[in-house]
Structure 1
Amino acid sequence: MREVIFDTETTGLDPKTGDRMVEIGCVEMIGRVETGRTFHAYFNPERDMPIEAERVHGLSAAFLATKPRFAETVDELLDFLGDAPLVAHNAGFDFGFLNNELQLIGREAIAMERMVDTVAIARKKHPGSKLSLDALCTRYGIDRSHRVKHGALLDAELLAQVYVELTGGRQIGLGLVGDDAGAGPDSNVTTFTPNAPWHRPSGDRPRREPRPHVASAEELERHKAFIAGIDNAIWTR
């Protein structure tokens, strides 16, 4: 199953008060394994950058002023997203900003049914624990030493590793899961793929004659002689 893990950076916390999305980073996964395909873009928000937000992600208004507007990149972004489930950390926040940008240019919003929230998964798996991306990276031993500031693509790449751990660990990438298995974020189902070599129809495999596993008369006599030569055996007492 194809999934897209994504993260956004913004000018603030609420698109309803005029905050805008300024960066998006996406990572493609198939069968919970990263394919190497990513999408990354900065956007000119056509507004100022509050200093509080700049301290988080380091993106200044001057830097973003040279970047394309969201409308200029939207088709490429939507092509990458396709119809895959979209995985994000505190996903309601990222969906809110992404759909706000789509609404501002008259495009259809992305259905909330596609949303997979890793915070909700982590809360169910680790109740009472810290659920930030940093905390989950620490819990699962994921190296985040290069995360000096927030960055959409970097955070999406870290989240992809966290998502694997939250949904079963790295063994899920061993080719034992079929296309329809483990579709839900809480699924622990593991099935064999129909075309795996151990699950092919018998007509597709070379036939081998069964190997003999019964001792021959000569082997039985040799064993009997060996047993008779053991001094003070417990079975003779």
Structure 2
Amino acid sequence: MGAHASGTEPLIDDGGRGGGDGGCCSNARELFWDILPAVLGALAALVFAVPLLYWPYQMSFDNGKYPEYSVAVAGFSGLDVDAAAAGRATPTPTLLDPTFDLTVFIKEPRRWSTACVPRGTTAVVSYRRVRLASGPVPGFCGQNENATEVGNVMAWGTAVPVPRFARDTLADELGRGEADVDVKLMGPARYCATCYQLVIECKARLGRGEASPPCTVRYDTPTLPDDPARGRQQARKQLRTPQDSSE
């Protein structure tokens, strides 16, 4: 049998589909399966990249913004001005039982950050470096560009000795309505190499109940308190005389 004449029969049996479309579809399928892993990989990378890029982009709007803390003295008692004035000529300290009703504010201007007063914080109220009262502060936070406050934070002292210089000045300033107290919020102290203690220092006016100017915020490295037993041992050593040492 001779060779087929040109144009009489197809050289390749395409199963009745006609022409060369089968080879074209086969090549397209092979190309699809070849590029599918790359497409899936690109989609997976995009899924992981979007959150990583989105959050820094959102956080960039908070750059340069810082929370503000403030304190107000809503009420106070135990600062007997008459007794302080009557004792001006007496050099001995006056014993007071002061009580302060405080309100603590947090103004958080950032949307994607949170500022907190941690649980275990203590409020210390002082006047001219004389500690008058202290009390616990409940933990709370401010966030989402809002102002948050917590009231009825009580600080108190019992039989607090107030020296004459502070007593006289306090009586004068209370009489003029210009007495300020220092309020320090001291976070819980944890003792480790990388631990820090939040300290918020404010100056609040007595008698008006208005919020103080923005407080100063710092982070201190807490130090271990002195061992009372060790202190007593050192005191006994200092009290020993040379004669006792020779014996």
Asked whether the two chains share a fold, i.e. TM above 0.5, the reply is no
More helix by share: 1
More strand by share: 2
Give the structure-1-normalised TM-score.
Answer: 0.21
Q: Max radius of gyration: which structure? A: 2
Give the structure-2-normalised TM-score.
Answer: 0.21
